[in-house]
Amino acid sequence: MAKNKKLVEAITAMDTDFAQWYTDVVKKADLADYSSVKGCMIIRPYGYAIWENIQAELDSRFKATGHENVYMPLFIPESLLNKEKDHVEGFAPEVAWVTHGGEEELTEKLCVRPTSETLFCQHYANIIGSYRDLPKLYNQWANVVRWEKTTRPFLRTTEFLWQEGHTAHATMEEAEEETLRMLNVYADFCQDFLAIPVIKGQKTEKEKFAGAQATYTIESLMHDGQALQSGTSHNFGDNFARAFNIRYLDKDNTHRYVYQTSWGVTTRLIGALIMVHGDDSGLVLPPRVAPIQLVIVPIATHKGGVLEKAQEIFTTLKAKVRVKLDDSDKNPGWKFSEHEMRGVPLRLEIGPRDVENGTVVLVRRDNGEKLTVNIAELAQKVPEILQEIQDGLLAKALKHREEHTSKAYSLAEIKENLDKKPGFVKTMWCGDRACEDQVKEVARASSRCMPFESEHLSDTCAICGKPAKAMVIWGRAY
């Protein structure tokens, strides 16, 4: 049976077919599998362990900034979804509808939440009465559903896992501060934990969230030069508060509308990890997010002392790093490939000669470098090397992004740059949607954001030549 074979087969080379390479890695690193439901994936133990690490780290950063977790219903009645005009226009075309419950047809159909603004708003209208009730800083970890036509594991799936923060504040200033605070939490998390450098900026009117006054984003660049929107944070102003009548009695005895935000990141971050750090041998995981940081592979275990020493090392290192001792009966070469495919940052090889010498060989996944290390020094060396790998991956990704970022001064140049060397293209922009539409049509790229760290490239819009209002970064995106 074909399914019995579990060879570490070669995967498609990145440069040959990046999309196929991605799919191969997802499958062969045991991250996810397809299900019988179109567009829905199965997240396998190794993939889910990465998500658990992401969750734990983000959750502690959310709690450190004063947020509390809650859980809202999976379903939204049609009438509730319809309450905020822009929002429903944005989401209604892509929701799944429950029309029957038990054996009866429902009197009002329910949509499976594509996002939960409307549910949080209804709840906030019930529980917020006074200025003393503010701010409300809620978050939820949940599954959401958006009926997507084209899907790819992690990057775009009909159902995905995410967190969605929803907050309510007394003033617009506080809402804006929160929106940016959470954008920074995301950016710092991506850089520190996932070793993914991101560009922070504001979305254009065309690209902002349905119902938001302003959407901020973190944008990252994949190995193939395509952009990935990696997290967004929205300031709703009082749009939703007016639609849902969320008011509080202020200190001066006046009723005022609250100001709201929402912000989210998804299992798509796992797609980013694959496409930013991976190589032709498979996944490459930054140590901080890796379920296994070090794998110990004993060699020639029939020789006395090897397995015992490997176990001793395992016991010593267990308290310091996430370590696995692979004492299965597969041969060492197979194990090497398997753990390389799964992106384990560091491999420790120990054979009879090593036991004699009191040393082991450490092999770095990121650059293949081999180091002979004294066993007595491992507890100190391993965490140091893991930190070097973490830092090295971020530096490499940053260098890649810089090498794939260009400037352009005309529409033709935007297209030419993207065709020649896909990446980010910076231009000045007049602020008109017509120019964005043109870039889409001609260069097949969208505005990623107006970055906070901006440059003045010229006085005029690269597309239409009218006076420029802002610098924009363009890219072809997942």
Q: Which is nearer to a copy of itself, 137 or 389 (CB)?
A: 137
The answer to whether the peptide bond before residue 291 is cis (omega within 30 degrees of 0) is no
Residue 475 CB, nearest approach to a copy of itself (Å): 26
Residue 41 CB, nearest approach to a copy of itself (Å): 7
Residue 250 CB, nearest approach to a copy of itself (Å): 12
Residue 296 CB, nearest approach to a copy of itself (Å): 19
Q: Which is nearer to a copy of itself, 246 or 435 (CB)?
A: 246
Residue 430 CB, nearest approach to a copy of itself (Å): 34
Burial pattern 151-161, b for ≥16 Cβ within 10 A else e, equals: bbbbbbbbbbb
Q: Which is nearer to a copy of itself, 41 or 214 (CB)?
A: 41
**What's the token pair of residue 230?**
């990696």
Q: How far apart are CA 106 and CA 98, in angstroms?
A: 8
Q: Which is nearer to a copy of itself, 67 or 365 (CB)?
A: 67
Q: Give the DSSP letter of residue 445.
A: -
Where do contacts with a copy of itself occur on this chain (CB under 8 A)?
1, 3-6, 33, 35-37, 40-45, 48-49, 51-52, 68-77, 80, 93-103, 109-110, 112, 119, 122-123, 126-127, 129-130, 138, 142-143, 145, 147, 149, 158-159, 161, 249
Q: Which is nearer to a copy of itself, 127 or 442 (CB)?
A: 127
Residue 255 CB, nearest approach to a copy of itself (Å): 9
Q: Which is nearer to a copy of itself, 267 or 446 (CB)?
A: 267
Beta strand spans in 267-399 (E): 294-298, 323-325, 346-350, 359-364, 370-374
What Å distances lie between residue 360 and 197, 235, 302, 354, 378, CA to CA? 33, 54, 17, 6, 9
Going by C-alpha positions, the residue among 192, 198, 401, 167 that lies closest to residue 264 is 167
Residue 264 CB, nearest approach to a copy of itself (Å): 17
Alpha helix segments (H runs only) across 135-212: 172-192
Q: Which is nearer to a copy of itself, 66 or 333 (CB)?
A: 66
Residue 127 CB, nearest approach to a copy of itself (Å): 7
* Cα four-point dihedral sign 266, 271, 272, 277: positive
**What's the token pair of residue 39?**
């567009």
Q: Which is nearer to a copy of itself, 63 or 421 (CB)?
A: 63
Contact 360, 372 (CB under 8 A): yes
Contact 391, 364 (CB under 8 A): no
